[in-house]
């Protein structure tokens, strides 16, 4: 028993290292720092770690590791606040949480949703640590069993979730996923670097970042919609069901939580898949295994428990490639490796062999940090949940400030804000015409992986087939491949099994005529046609095949939709239009006047730079739109602007400059970069 002879003494030593007042002190410090950074959308582990890295050099290794682990571990826990309370995906790990978490907030059940999410996170984190303790000793051969064909199959598994998330019209879901893939294909091709659909702009050359797409697709449509309602987030005046109910909800769904934690660990362990899809796989799985799917998207607590159980477990799983192979599974893990080097530890195979106690220290610090972090969050959640009872108009300037600042972290130019507005508009229309936004996001996230793995698997397999037919076959259909194929088939079957029983996502039957939905479908088809023409003009073959195929198939799908639209009556779900049914129809304020405010922030920033624009925006919005009196406006403006300044100062960030800064040199923070 290798475990008994190797792991137990090391584990013993690790606990002796962690359970000292200093180590625990630094761990808690890390957790608190991570919480403070993580609650802000778009700022995650990278920003937090950059904050502490300058102090890491020269620290006692165990204290330094505890602090860094504490910081990283709570990010997927703390980002839940924004996802559930405000409908803003705090990070890519909690995008799926928005789908049901935010509707629960709107129903006045924020505390319940948060508590369920945090307990799930806690459980996922602990589960991950326990699995890792045993697994890390034997993980190496298993991780190496995931070659390119197996990674491709995992990507396909991710895509199979589109079927479940597609909503009422499957074809619409497929076209939306294709649309997401083509937006994901913008920029340098992953294989040979050909330019695709960048129209000569360097901004597009790097493609859109996931943060901006996540905010644009999910946050902006919700914020705009709520602003049109002109009320608090929570429809109820009281907070409704309390946090104890959330914990009970979790316990009632403990098996779901365990299954999703397993999904999280497995996806995290495999390098190359990226964590941004794990919450969607978990969400899809949750839908597949729920008998009555009618409540998904409208406040189904299982839709919160599933993704949240998986995203913390993923962090634990992600330590395996990071520590075992020195390959970071995410940006924050990359910085984490950098911090480890400052402390004298180099991640890699020798780490497990020579420094097993330190490895276990990291694993169990992660578990401990999860307990402390989730505990703190549960403690704070009843208070923070009160945010949902505030008049929404007062929150809006803060939200616009936060998402703009978050988007700006992507490439630090004004174009980040323009991209946010552009993708936000797309998000608004997808929402309005009931095109499934999760499908778009899955397509976007998986586009480059699908492309690269398809191409790589083909190329390696051809070389193997040259060597011998059996060689090629055994490469493609390894035992691991066969397991994955079975999982995919089961997943699709589970999705299809209940699709007939699927209730309409919106209770809304019809409709406001055919015109608007048809115009939007035409616009999608036009974009796909442009994408297809652009892809055909790429000269390097390997950068061409994938976008031509995806754009071509999606375009055919869009054309079929148009034909169906021509033949169907107005009452068909094809013509779903949120402006005529559902809550937006009754909104007292129109879409464009509301969107105008957000665009005005962009225009002001383009003219005067972000900080000045923000001040003007706060005052104008609160007085004109919010009808607040001057003293309150002044206090709120000072609070908002002051806050973002402190954050930027601490994190050493600059702000988007405008036209003014072209002519006049201004000191920080007005100057920007």
Q: Which residues bind other proteins (CB under 8 A)?
A: 46, 50, 53-54, 57-58, 144, 146-148, 188, 190-193, 202, 205-206, 271-272, 325-328, 331, 333-335, 337-338, 341-342, 346, 348-350, 353, 411-412, 451-452, 455-456, 459-460, 463, 466-467, 539-542, 652, 673
Q: Two tokens at 427?
A: 């998000």
* 359, HSE (Cβ side, Cα atoms, 13 Å): 30
- Of 522 and 540, the one with the shorter C-beta distance to other proteins is 540
Q: Yes or no: say if 264 and 278 are a contact pair by the CB < 8 Å rule.
A: yes
Q: Yes or no: say if 588 and 229 are a contact pair by the CB < 8 Å rule.
A: yes
Q: Two tokens at 180?
A: 């997401």
Q: Yes or no: say if 169 and 501 are a contact pair by the CB < 8 Å rule.
A: no
- Work out how close the CB of 655 gets to other proteins at its nearest, in angstroms, rounded to a whole number: 14
- Work out how close the CB of 611 gets to other proteins at its nearest, in angstroms, rounded to a whole number: 18
- Of 396 and 476, the one with the shorter C-beta distance to other proteins is 476
Peptide bond into 669 cis (omega under 30): yes
- Work out how close the CB of 49 gets to other proteins at its nearest, in angstroms, rounded to a whole number: 8
- Work out how close the CB of 311 gets to other proteins at its nearest, in angstroms, rounded to a whole number: 21
Distance CA 39, CA 80 (A): 8
Q: Kindly report the CA angle at 308 between 303 and 310, in degrees rounded to 5?
A: 110
- Of 140 and 168, the one with the shorter C-beta distance to other proteins is 140
Give the number of other CB atoms < 10 A from CB of residue 491.
21
In SS3 terms, 276-335 reads as HHHHHHHHHHHHHCCCCHHHCCCCCCHHHHHHHHHHHHHHHHHHHHHHHHCCCCCHHHHH
- Work out how close the CB of 276 gets to other proteins at its nearest, in angstroms, rounded to a whole number: 14
Tell me the three state secondary structure of residue 187: strand
- Work out how close the CB of 463 gets to other proteins at its nearest, in angstroms, rounded to a whole number: 6
- Of 494 and 648, the one with the shorter C-beta distance to other proteins is 648
- Work out how close the CB of 337 gets to other proteins at its nearest, in angstroms, rounded to a whole number: 6
- Of 190 and 316, the one with the shorter C-beta distance to other proteins is 190
- Work out how close the CB of 306 gets to other proteins at its nearest, in angstroms, rounded to a whole number: 29
- Of 539 and 586, the one with the shorter C-beta distance to other proteins is 539
- Work out how close the CB of 517 gets to other proteins at its nearest, in angstroms, rounded to a whole number: 37
Residue 295, judged by CB atoms within 10 A of its CB (0-12, 13-18, 19+), counts as: middle
- Work out how close the CB of 540 gets to other proteins at its nearest, in angstroms, rounded to a whole number: 5
Tell me the three state secondary structure of residue 188: strand
- Of 295 and 411, the one with the shorter C-beta distance to other proteins is 411
- Of 289 and 549, the one with the shorter C-beta distance to other proteins is 549
- Of 20 and 350, the one with the shorter C-beta distance to other proteins is 350
- Of 272 and 512, the one with the shorter C-beta distance to other proteins is 272
| Cα four-point dihedral sign 335, 337, 341, 343 | positive
Q: Yes or no: say if 166 and 173 are a contact pair by the CB < 8 Å rule.
A: yes
Among 180, 224, 101, smallest CA distance to 437 is for: 180
- Work out how close the CB of 643 gets to other proteins at its nearest, in angstroms, rounded to a whole number: 21
Q: Two tokens at 382?
A: 């009843």
- Of 526 and 540, the one with the shorter C-beta distance to other proteins is 540
- Work out how close the CB of 558 gets to other proteins at its nearest, in angstroms, rounded to a whole number: 28
User: What are the residues facing 391 on neighbouring strands?
Assistant: 232
Kindly report the backbone phi and psi dihedral angles of residue 195, in degrees, each rounded to the nearest multiple of 5, phi listed first.
Answer: -80, 135
| Cα four-point dihedral sign 29, 31, 37, 40 | negative
Distance CA 15, CA 10 (A): 9
Indicate the helix (H) or strand (E) that contains 360: helix 356-384
Kindly report the backbone phi and psi dihedral angles of residue 40, in degrees, each rounded to the nearest multiple of 5, phi listed first.
Answer: -90, 125
- Of 434 and 534, the one with the shorter C-beta distance to other proteins is 534
Q: Determine what percent of the chain falls in helix, strand and coil, rounding each to the nearest 5.
A: 75, 0, 25
Q: Yes or no: say if 299 and 175 are a contact pair by the CB < 8 Å rule.
A: no
């Amino acid at each position: 028993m290798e475990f008994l002879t190797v792991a137990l003494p090391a584990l013993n030593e690790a606990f002796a290292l962690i359970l000292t007042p200093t180590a625990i002190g630094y761990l808690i410090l890390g957790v608190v720092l991570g919480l403070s950074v993580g609650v802000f959308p778009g700022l995650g582990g990278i920003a937090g770690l950059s904050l502490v890295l300058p102090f890491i050099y020269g620290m006692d290794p165990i204290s330094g590791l505890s602090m860094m682990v504490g910081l990283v571990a709570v990010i997927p826990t703390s980002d839940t606040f924004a996802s559930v309370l405000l409908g803003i995906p705090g990070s890519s790990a909690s995008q799926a949480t928005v789908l049901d978490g935010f509707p629960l907030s709107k129903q006045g059940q924020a505390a319940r949703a948060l508590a369920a999410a945090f307990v799930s996170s806690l459980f996922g984190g602990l589960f991950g640590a326990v699995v890792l303790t045993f697994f890390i000793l034997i993980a190496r051969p298993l991780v190496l069993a995931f070659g390119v064909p197996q990674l491709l199959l995992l990507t396909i598994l991710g895509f199979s979730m589109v079927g479940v998330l597609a909503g009422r019209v499957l074809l619409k879901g497929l076209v939306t996923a294709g649309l997401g893939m083509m937006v994901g294909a913008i920029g340098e091709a992953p294989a040979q670097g050909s330019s695709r659909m960048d129209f000569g702009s360097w901004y597009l050359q790097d493609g859109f970042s996931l943060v901006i797409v996540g905010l644009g697709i999910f946050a902006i449509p919700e914020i705009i919609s709520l602003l049109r309602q002109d009320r608090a987030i929570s429809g109820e005046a009281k907070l409704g069901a309390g946090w104890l109910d959330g914990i009970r909800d979790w316990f009632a769904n403990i098996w779901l939580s365990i299954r999703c934690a397993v999904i999280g660990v497995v996806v995290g362990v495999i390098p190359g898949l990226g964590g941004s899809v794990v919450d969607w796989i978990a969400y899809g799985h949750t839908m597949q295994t729920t008998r009555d799917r009618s409540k998904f998207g409208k406040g189904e607590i299982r839709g919160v428990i599933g993704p949240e159980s998986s995203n913390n477990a993923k962090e634990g799983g992600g330590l395996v490639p990071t520590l075992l192979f020195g390959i970071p599974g995410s940006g924050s893990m990359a910085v984490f490796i950098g911090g480890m080097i400052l402390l004298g530890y180099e991640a890699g195979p020798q780490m497990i062999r020579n420094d097993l106690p330190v490895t276990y220290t990291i694993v169990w610090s992660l578990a401990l940090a999860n307990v402390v972090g989730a505990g703190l969050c549960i403690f704070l959640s009843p208070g923070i949940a009160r945010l949902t009872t505030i008049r929404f108009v007062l929150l809006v300037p803060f939200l616009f400030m936060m998402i703009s600042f978050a988007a700006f972290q992507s490439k630090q130019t004004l174009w980040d804000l323009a991209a946010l507005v552009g993708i936000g508009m797309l998000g608004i229309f997808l929402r309005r015409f009931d095109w499934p936004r999760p499908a778009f996001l899955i397509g976007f996230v998986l586009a480059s992986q699908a492309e690269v793995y398809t191409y790589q698997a083909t190329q390696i397999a051809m070389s193997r087939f040259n060597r011998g037919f059996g060689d090629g076959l055994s490469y493609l259909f390894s035992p691991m491949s066969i397991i994955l194929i079975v999982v995919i088939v089961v997943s699709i079957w589970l999705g299809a099994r209940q699709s007939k029983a699927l209730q309409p996502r919106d209770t809304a039957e019809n409709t406001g005529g055919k015109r608007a939905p048809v115009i939007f479908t035409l616009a999608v088809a036009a974009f796909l046609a442009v994408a297809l023409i652009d892809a055909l003009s790429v000269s390097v073959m390997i950068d061409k095949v994938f976008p031509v195929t995806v754009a071509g198939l999606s375009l055919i799908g869009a054309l079929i939709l148009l034909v169906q639209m021509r033949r169907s009556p107005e009452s068909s779900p094809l013509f779903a239009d949120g402006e005529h049914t559902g809550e937006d129809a009754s909104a007292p304020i129109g879409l464009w006047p509301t969107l105008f405010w957000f665009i005005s922030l962009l225009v002001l920033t383009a003219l005067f730079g972000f900080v000045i624009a923000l001040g003007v925006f706060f005052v104008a919005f609160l007085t004109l739109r919010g009808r607040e009196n001057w003293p309150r406006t002044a206090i709120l403006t000072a609070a908002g602007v002051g806050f973002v300044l402190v954050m930027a100062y601490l994190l050493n960030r600059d702000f988007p400059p405008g036209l003014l800064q072209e002519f006049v040199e201004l000191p920080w923070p007005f100057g920007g970069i």
